[in-house]
């Protein structure tokens, strides 16, 4: 069963990660390599962080590493760019963390307890770049690893914007607690479904239950 992780528990770990990322920011800029911004995304941004109750895998934090300016042309190469961050993570995160793992769309690090037999939390970092297409729509690219061919490339990811209106409507009507209750219920009903999908389904249900139904009654 999933349970929520309180802010008092996850906040110190978030601050620890933020501090390290700021150090990496400075190092990359001072060495004329690149500049970047970082931001928390997903469940952590929405304060919907969950974990398996009495489990040993902890909770997850997700960050976007948003590349701002490449100061050295050779780092235009997505493989070099991603592997540079992997090396920096291994250098800057102390030995309470496992070595960084390179996966299809993110870099993952895991913080262990002192006995090193339990994961306290994991962090996924996606290296991204935002731009506007010819029609003025926001687009996001991320570094994608094709493991079969061991090749890296910038891949297009659609930026979901249609949920923002629903989010704002729910918050304006002080119904975020309804989201929290239903989100946890849905996580426990379908524990293997991606949290992002569970979230979109949850706010869609809240919208239909309280707003679409109300609108149809007023017709």
Please write the tens of the pLDDT for every residue from 177-210: 999 999 999 999 999 999 999 999 999 999 998 8
Which of 40, 47, 60 has the alpha carbon at shortest distance from 109?
Answer: 60
pLDDT at residue number 162: 67
The highest-confidence range among 27-41, 127-141, 198-212, by mean pLDDT, is: 27-41
Long-range Cβ contact pairs of 7-11 (< 8 A, separation 24 or more): 7/47, 10/44, 10/49, 10/59, 10/61, 10/121
Residues 157-168 have pLDDT tens digits of 876 656 888 999
Tokens read off for 170? 């729910």
Q: Which residues pair with 157 in a beta bridge?
A: 140
Q: Where are the alpha helices (DSSP H) in the chain?
A: 7-30, 42-45, 78-92, 163-172, 176-189, 195-207, 213-217
Residue 174 scores a pLDDT above 90: yes
pLDDT at residue number 216: 45
Residue 218 scores a pLDDT above 60: no
pLDDT-above-70 percentage for the chain: 95
pLDDT at residue number 94: 96
pLDDT band at 83 (very low <50, low <70, confident <90, very high): very high
Residues 135-153 have pLDDT tens digits of 877 889 999 999 999 999 9
d(CA 100, CA 93): 9
């Amino acid at each position: 069963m999933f349970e929520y992780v309180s802010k008092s528990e996850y906040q110190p770990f978030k601050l620890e990660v933020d501090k390290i990322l700021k150090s990496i920011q400075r190092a990359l800029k001072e060495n004329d390599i690149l500049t970047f911004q970082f931001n928390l995304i997903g469940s952590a941004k929405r304060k919907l962080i969950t974990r398996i109750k009495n489990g040993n895998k902890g909770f997850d934090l997700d960050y976007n590493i948003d590349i701002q300016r490449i100061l050295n042309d050779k780092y235009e190469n997505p493989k070099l760019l991603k592997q540079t961050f992997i090396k920096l993570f291994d250098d800057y995160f102390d030995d309470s963390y496992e070595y960084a793992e390179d996966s299809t769309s993110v870099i993952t690090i895991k913080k262990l307890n002192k006995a090193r037999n339990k994961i306290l939390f994991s962090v996924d970092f996606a290296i991204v770049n935002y731009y506007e297409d010819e029609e003025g729509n926001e687009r996001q690219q991320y570094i994608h690893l094709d493991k079969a061919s061991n090749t890296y490339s910038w891949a297009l990811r659609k930026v979901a914007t249609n949920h923002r209106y629903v989010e704002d409507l729910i918050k304006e009507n002080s119904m975020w607690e309804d989201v929290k209750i239903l989100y946890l219920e849905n996580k426990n009903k379908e524990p293997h479904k991606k949290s992002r999908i569970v979230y979109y389904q949850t706010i869609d249900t809240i919208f239909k239950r309280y707003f679409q139904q109300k609108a149809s009654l007023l017709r």
